[in-house]
Amino acid sequence: MFAAVCVGVSATGHTLLSGHEVPLGGTLVGYVGMLAAAWGFAGRERGGGAIAGWMLWGQLALHLVFSTAQSCAAPLPDGPAHPDHSGASGIDTAATADSSVGMLAAHIAAALICALWLRGGEDAAFTLARGLRTLLSGVLRLLGPLPAAPCPPPDRPRSWAEPRHGTGVVLRHVVVRRGPPRSSDS
């Protein structure tokens, strides 16, 4: 879901500012890339700064994918947001510089919006996971004790005369009694 919204927001802004449609192939490549990155970074909770940093890199990658995919796309019809650049070359250079600054601002805004959205969703998901863990641990305690870990077989048979050093073997039937023995009065 996150990859779809992130790529959709980025592709829409990229299309509006560049004057060219982003081809479906470019959108799909961007989606698969964002999905792979999100899947790779999943598994632990991250802070807002780390998420924003990764989103800025993701938007840079999406910009490169969309620009590459747009290289053969037809421009959108001219409108108020897309001036006709048929004038002198000085006007073309100024319009290109304005659109590149606008494109940079749009990708930064998309990165920050997606980072805020992702941080909120991640916070909610991890809060839910912690709550479920607490709930389920209480339910599992009611069902009974957890089974004991099985003892591993010894490496080789030992004679009784051979000293035993700490082998790390778990003993299932050991009873630890600390303190003095009970008196027969109690």
| pLDDT tens for each residue of 92-133 | 444 455 567 888 888 888 888 888 888 888 888 888 988 888
pLDDT digits (tens, 9 = 90+) for 29-55: 999 998 888 888 777 778 888 888 888
How sure is the predictor about 83, in pLDDT bands with cuts at 50, 70 and 90? very low
Res 9: pLDDT: 82
Span 57-62, average pLDDT? 88
Least confident of 42-56, 63-77, 141-155: 141-155
How sure is the predictor about 28, in pLDDT bands with cuts at 50, 70 and 90? very high
Higher-pLDDT residue of 149 and 113 is 113
Res 163: pLDDT: 56
Res 169: pLDDT: 60
pTM of this prediction exceeds 0.75: no
Residue 24 has pLDDT above 60, yes or no: yes
Tokens of 82: 């897309």
Q: Give the percent of the chain with pLDDT over 70.
A: 65
Tokens of 168: 């790390």
Res 124: pLDDT: 87
Res 88: pLDDT: 41
Sketch the domain layout of the chain as residue ranges.
2-76+99-125
Res 156: pLDDT: 64
Torsion angle (degrees, nearest 10) of CA 107, 110, 112, 118: -140
